[in-house]
Structure 1
Amino acid sequence: MLGIAGALAVAIALWQLVATTAGLTIERTTVGTTPVTIYRQAGASPAPVIVIAHGFAGSQQLMQPFAVTLARNGYVAVTFDFAGHGRNAEKLGGDITKVSGTTILLVEEVARVVAFAKGIPGGDGRIALLGHSMASDIIVRAAQADPEIAAVVAVSMFSPAVRPDSPKNLLVVVGDWERRLKEEALRAVGMAVGGPVEAGVTYGSFADGTARRAAFSPSVEHIAVLYSPASSREALLWLDQVFRHAGSGYVDDRGAWIGLLILGIVLLAKPLAGLLPRVASTPQGAGLPWRRLWPVAVVPAVATPLLLWKAPTSFLPVLVGDYLAVHFAVYGLLTALMLFVVRRWSVRDAGVQTAPRTDGGFHWSARAVAAFLLATTLVTAYAIGALGGAIDWFVTSFVPVGPRWLLVLALAAGTVPYFLADEWATRGPGTGRGAYAATKLLFLLSLAGAVALNLRALFFLILIVPVILAFFVVYGLFSRWTFARTGHPWVGGLANALAFAWAIAVTFPMLVR
């Protein structure tokens, strides 16, 4: 039944998601090294072009709800991948902490895409910009440098560049759970009015470019704001007023369908795991009750951020991914060390010369090795291919380009020790209840400690902690079902390690070092 439910969920979700682009032509090209996608309605009359920019560590797939909404309403929508992001193999240069560094380079990249967009067939010569998070500041500056930009839609905006008189016709859309950015949105609108303002009220005039509005999308935060129909609707209505344009009123609402697709893929994993070859006849693992597990779980969580307090964070061309890989590696090695120590404690407490075996007599026969390799390959392929494919198609880029392929291997050198040690520590007969979830929580707390000790260098880790948590949950289910079938924790452990290394390598921005 679970397999049927999962298959139905995947089928229904894909049908709904594919239907969102009905009637659109989607063209992919490049502007220099920048990958660009053009969305337009087949046979539509010439219309304004909207250039859409993604945020930090994102890609153009994240902005599909806006692109599809606008294109289905007759606009020409253009999305792209910034340098160092998505499918753009060009590394991000400059100092990311200074306006005179990376910011200027990104503004220049937007300008090149805008210049291209002005000449797109189907455009009528009018143009506007839409950007999320990091890109909100970039598009504000790009609009201030180009008098032909008729409007700016800034989603989750924080931009010190906003002035009372520029950019023209500014709409600020913020998730209702983004408290500080809501304050920033009201400040940006209020500075043009010269006094207090309210959300949902339009001030100024579209005719002279002074129109401003702050809109709060209900019940969403920094990422979900992109998938909120309220956000797309606000952007559409704003641009319709700027350009005196009338479309169909269609608003993309893919968020729930993406959730259903991922749920279906996760549900399918359980019955598929039942088809894996058995590696061990008896379940393997440390099998530690909590009285022996707690030092194995706690010591690495406390010691890792302290040991890496002064560790370098710029030896790989991927922002904070290098530190994260080292954190995984040290954490895993400390977990393995504590497993050894606890086993020695068992010897001492038992008063014998050898510790009791925890492998139930298991040995790596040729058959076991073959079964292990086959099972690990299949689980890894599903974790990266099925789940990663859905993410790449509808959420954000999940395909390595250029040097990212080598980064997968480099990052795996960090993730493999952690996941192998953690899986062994939290699996096996007699393991303390909730051990697997507890060690993942401790790992996240350990990362939080690392950020607190070195906030300047590791600040960007804060942004991806929710993503790591989601991956722990999903891949944790995969490894649980895999272990139940194969009997060996390292099948799921190695698959998870490779999937995590892949995810970090393809999503974190690549930098010039």
Structure 2
Amino acid sequence: MLRARLTLVLGIVLLAAGVAGFATAGRGLRTTSVHVGTVPVELVRPDGAAAGGAARPVVVVVHGYAGSGRLMRPFADTLARRGYLVALPDLAGHGANPQRLTEAALDRDLAAVVRYVRGLPDADPARLALVGHSMGAAAVVRAGAADRSIAATVAISIGDDAAAATRPGPRHLLAMYGAFEPSGIASTTEATGAERVVRVPLVEHIGVLFADRTHHETARWLDRALGHHPQRPVIAAKGRLVPGGLSLVGGLLILIGALLSGRTGAAPAPPDRDRPGLRVGAVLVAPIPGELAGVALAHALPNTVTGYLTGYFAGCGAALVAAALLLRRPDHPARPDHPARPDRPDRTARLARPSAAALARAGLLAAAAFAAVVLPVHAGLTDVAPHGPDWWVVALLALAVAALLAGAHALLGTPWSYAAVVALCLPMPVASLIGVAPGFLALISPLVLVLVGLHVAVCAAAGRPWWRTVLAGALTVAWPVAVVLPVLG
């Protein structure tokens, strides 16, 4: 009980610190939301008029594949505090933009936003720059090469060889990439012909956006290229990431503390341990039907990555469920010469239909876990509110994740089921790197593993029965993944 109380208190403290961090992250800035055609755009300015009434230099900051304008907000926090007017669009298929994603739609959306911000009363159209990440880096390179009036361009982690080979390239091009990114992104970045190429240490494809070095290089490059002299040389790379992380950890600790305080003192019933070799073998074989199903569904859903993940999780889950059913020994009444063992769980009780109250508690756990994970991600990282015509993909991926979790728990029991779920996620980036799965999966696999790890933490605190946590895990893993992946044209 003491451990549960300490966990609750620590969670409350961290959550309060996160909320306070969010409250101060936008201090000194003025934010407005507009639509440029179908493109949602967030405009961020420093409070008050520009010094001497002069127009401000303008920067359009473009997110990458599966990102959103919200993901790039730290660049606005840095640049707007240095005196820039910053535009954060949600390009086609991303964030709150319901259009389907094509390269033509991206370029059209970006061009529309550039025209719009050039016409703003407090914007200096002669001092306009572009910053882009990943897919957005390719888009800003194409835009900067096509429109020579764009004064400077910053391309972060560009992975498009065709865009990198554009000659002549944009004016005053700075290119950056993370030291832990795939070698293909590093080589493509080096091939841009940029005036300066920076390798940002100790970060990968997403972490590069929140590195102080990335923000410092971007701000210094734009200041020099646009002839801007900021009064406050601010770097705010982690101004929203840290509160988001504190809120996430705090929410999870509150949930775990509540679960621990509600558990009885009785030890959980031990799982079946008969034929352990066959159970482990089933886990090792499960990726085979998973890969086959993933490849089959990769092009059947609105996004190839979503389709692959749905098929892979469903295939692995189906294999584990089948193995659990095959390895479950039939129930026999105990003979007089073989009395029931008190250290073994009662199969009849274990297979009994759950009560309405138990199902309601499982639903409440799912809602609490969802709030603890998804809301901080939405507030501190990227937009995970569903938009567009294919929101049903969230439900489909959630069912696939539920099949994986249910199969692992039914086959192995805790705590071995936790290790099995994590282990079954490991073949995905390998399949991506060898070309079996979509290439982008290699970049988001660490995030999928983080979400699985968060579910494991909740599951460990919730205890038995195993089905109690399946819905919670299905929502917290599937929702952020399915929503951020764009609808393809």
Which TM bucket (shorter chain)? 0.7 to 0.9
Residue pair 1:57, 1:85 contacting (<8 A) in 2 also: yes
Cα distance change, pair 509–427 in 1 and its aligned pair in 2 (3 A): same
Cα deviation, 1:244-288, whole Å, max 9, x if unaligned, reads 21221111042444333322222222112236588x988468533
Cα deviation, 1:63-89, whole Å, max 9, x if unaligned, reads 111111011111011111121112211
**Paired position in structure 1 for 2:103:** 103
Is residue 101 of structure 2 the alignment partner of residue 89 of structure 1?
no
Cα deviation, 1:369-414, whole Å, max 9, x if unaligned, reads 2332222222222222232111111101111123343222222332
**Paired position in structure 2 for 1:161:** 163
Cα distance change, pair 385–37 in 1 and its aligned pair in 2 (3 A): same
Q: CA deviation at 1:331?
A: 1.5
**Paired position in structure 2 for 1:250:** 234
Rounded to whole Å, the distance in 2 between the matches of 1:84 and 1:225 is: 23
**Paired position in structure 1 for 2:192:** 188
Rounded to whole Å, the distance in 2 between the matches of 1:310 and 1:140 is: 32
Residue pair 1:286, 1:424 contacting (<8 A) in 2 also: no
Residue pair 1:287, 1:427 contacting (<8 A) in 2 also: yes
Rounded to whole Å, the distance in 1 between the matches of 2:401 and 2:182 is: 35
Cα distance change, pair 153–442 in 1 and its aligned pair in 2 (3 A): same
Q: What code does the residue aligned with 1:272 have? A: A
Rounded to whole Å, the distance in 1 between the matches of 2:158 and 2:212 is: 18
Q: CA deviation at 1:504?
A: 2.7
Rounded to whole Å, the distance in 2 between the matches of 1:449 and 1:344 is: 36
Cα distance change, pair 285–403 in 1 and its aligned pair in 2 (3 A): farther
Residue pair 2:290, 2:314 contacting (<8 A) in 1 also: no
Rounded to whole Å, the distance in 1 between the matches of 2:181 and 2:318 is: 38
Q: What code does the residue aligned with 1:166 have? A: G
Is residue 24 of structure 2 the alignment partner of residue 22 of structure 1?
no
**Paired position in structure 2 for 1:373:** 359
Q: CA deviation at 1:21?
A: 1.2
**Paired position in structure 1 for 2:139:** 138
**Paired position in structure 2 for 1:361:** 349
Rounded to whole Å, the distance in 2 between the matches of 1:451 and 1:490 is: 31
**Paired position in structure 1 for 2:173:** 170
Q: What code does the residue aligned with 1:150 have? A: A
**Paired position in structure 1 for 2:441:** 461
Q: What code does the residue aligned with 1:502 have? A: W
Cα deviation, 1:437-463, whole Å, max 9, x if unaligned, reads 4312431244356547753x6223222
Residue pair 1:282, 1:360 contacting (<8 A) in 2 also: no
**Paired position in structure 2 for 1:493:** 470
Rounded to whole Å, the distance in 2 between the matches of 1:416 and 1:129 is: 42
Q: What code does the residue aligned with 1:236 have? A: A
Q: CA deviation at 1:317?
A: 1.5
Rounded to whole Å, the distance in 2 between the matches of 1:169 and 1:141 is: 14
Rounded to whole Å, the distance in 1 between the matches of 2:149 and 2:301 is: 40
Residue pair 2:297, 2:310 contacting (<8 A) in 1 also: no
Q: What code does the residue aligned with 2:201 have? A: P
Q: What code does the residue aligned with 1:154 have? A: A
Rounded to whole Å, the distance in 2 between the matches of 1:11 and 1:189 is: 47
Residue pair 1:59, 1:81 contacting (<8 A) in 2 also: yes
**Paired position in structure 1 for 2:321:** 336
Report 1:292-307 matches (<5 A): 293-305=279-291, 307=292
In structure 1, stretches of 5+ residues that fail to align are 93-101, 191-211, 429-433
Q: What code does the residue aligned with 1:172 have? A: A
Aligned alpha-carbon RMSD (Å): 3.0
Shifted more, 320-329 versus 139-148: the winner is 320-329
1:236 aligns with one of 211, 216, 219: 219
Instruction: State the secondary structure of the residue aligned to 2:376.
Output: helix
Rounded to whole Å, the distance in 2 between the matches of 1:335 and 1:8 is: 40
Cα distance change, pair 477–345 in 1 and its aligned pair in 2 (3 A): same
Cα distance change, pair 332–183 in 1 and its aligned pair in 2 (3 A): closer
Rounded to whole Å, the distance in 1 between the matches of 2:167 and 2:434 is: 39
Residue pair 2:210, 2:237 contacting (<8 A) in 1 also: yes
Rounded to whole Å, the distance in 1 between the matches of 2:269 and 2:31 is: 50
Instruction: State the secondary structure of the residue aligned to 1:372.
Output: helix
TM-score, normalised via structure 2 length? 0.86
Q: CA deviation at 1:118?
A: 1.2
Is residue 416 of structure 2 the alignment partner of residue 435 of structure 1?
yes
Instruction: State the secondary structure of the residue aligned to 1:465.
Output: helix
Rounded to whole Å, the distance in 1 between the matches of 2:446 and 2:458 is: 19
Is residue 402 of structure 2 the alignment partner of residue 416 of structure 1?
yes
Instruction: State the secondary structure of the residue aligned to 1:84.
Output: coil
**Paired position in structure 2 for 1:388:** 374
Residue pair 2:297, 2:311 contacting (<8 A) in 1 also: no
Report 1:38-77 matches (<5 A): 38-45=43-50, 46-77=55-86
Instruction: State the secondary structure of the residue aligned to 2:15.
Output: helix
**Paired position in structure 2 for 1:325:** 310
Question: Identical aligned pairs, as a percentage?
Answer: 30
Cα distance change, pair 310–189 in 1 and its aligned pair in 2 (3 A): closer
Aligned length: 466
Cα distance change, pair 54–73 in 1 and its aligned pair in 2 (3 A): same
Residue pair 1:309, 1:450 contacting (<8 A) in 2 also: no
Cα deviation, 1:177-211, whole Å, max 9, x if unaligned, reads 33734444444347xxxxxxxxxxxxxxxxxxxxx
1:506 aligns with one of 465, 483, 489: 483
Rounded to whole Å, the distance in 1 between the matches of 2:25 and 2:204 is: 23
Cα distance change, pair 302–166 in 1 and its aligned pair in 2 (3 A): closer
Cα distance change, pair 121–5 in 1 and its aligned pair in 2 (3 A): farther
Rounded to whole Å, the distance in 2 between the matches of 1:362 and 1:221 is: 45
Rounded to whole Å, the distance in 2 between the matches of 1:241 and 1:217 is: 20
TM-score, normalised via structure 1 length? 0.83
**Paired position in structure 1 for 2:3:** none
**Paired position in structure 2 for 1:200:** none
Cα distance change, pair 358–497 in 1 and its aligned pair in 2 (3 A): farther
Rounded to whole Å, the distance in 1 between the matches of 2:434 and 2:346 is: 37
Cα distance change, pair 121–283 in 1 and its aligned pair in 2 (3 A): farther
Rounded to whole Å, the distance in 1 between the matches of 2:197 and 2:78 is: 20
Residue pair 1:139, 1:152 contacting (<8 A) in 2 also: yes
Instruction: State the secondary structure of the residue aligned to 1:161.
Output: helix
Shifted more, 468-477 versus 5-14: the winner is 5-14
Q: CA deviation at 1:495?
A: 1.4
Residue pair 1:65, 1:252 contacting (<8 A) in 2 also: yes
Shifted more, 161-170 versus 2-11: the winner is 161-170
Cα deviation, 1:79-109, whole Å, max 9, x if unaligned, reads 11121112211222xxxxxxxxx32331121
